[in-house]
């Protein structure tokens, strides 16, 4: 059994969910310097959308991958509109 880090676990969940949705992730893209280190595990470059945060708007403490989406990084960062939730979750608050 493999032991995951928050980064590896989130990446594996995002990979499966992106495949289900027909979304293409640019896995080798270099992370922008503007991304706070505590958010980096949930930021991905999505083809045709640009940099996005894998997150939810739900107030529930536990959400399924199907309840998350890719929110544009440029909409989330300037407002500081996000918070860590649990071990590998991000909630968009703005």
Q: What is the 3-state secondary structure (H, E, C) of 49-61?
A: CEEEEEEECCCCC
- Give dist(CA 23, CA 1) in Å, integer: 28
Q: Where are the alpha helices (DSSP H) in the chain?
A: 6-21, 73-76
Write the pLDDT tens digit of every residue in 34-81.
999 999 999 999 999 999 999 999 988 888 999 999 999 999 988 778
User: What's the pTM value of the predicted model, to 2 decimals?
Assistant: 0.90
- Whether residue 66 is contained in a domain is answered as yes
pLDDT classification of 1: cutoffs 50, 70, 90: low
- Whether residue 61 is contained in a domain is answered as yes
Q: Domain span at residue 65?
A: 6-92
- Whether residue 67 is contained in a domain is answered as yes
Provide the 8-state DSSP code for 8.
H
- Whether residue 83 is contained in a domain is answered as yes
| Under 8 Å between Cβ of 32 and 53 | no
Q: How far is CA 6 from CA 11, 49, 50, 51, in A?
A: 8, 24, 22, 19
- Give dist(CA 71, CA 34) in Å, integer: 16
Please state the domain count of the chain.
1
- Whether residue 1 is contained in a domain is answered as no
pLDDT in the model for residue 2: 73
């Amino acid at each position: 059994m493999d032991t995951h880090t928050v980064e590896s676990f989130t990446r594996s969940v995002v990979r499966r969910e992106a495949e289900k949705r027909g979304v293409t992730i640019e896995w080798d893209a270099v992370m922008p310097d503007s991304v706070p280190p505590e958010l980096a595990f949930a930021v991905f470059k999505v083809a045709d959308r640009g940099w996005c945060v894998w997150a939810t708007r739900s107030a529930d403490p536990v959400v399924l991958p199907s309840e998350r989406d890719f929110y544009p990084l440029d909409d989330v960062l300037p407002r500081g509109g996000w918070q860590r939730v649990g071990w590998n979750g991000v909630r968009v608050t703005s």
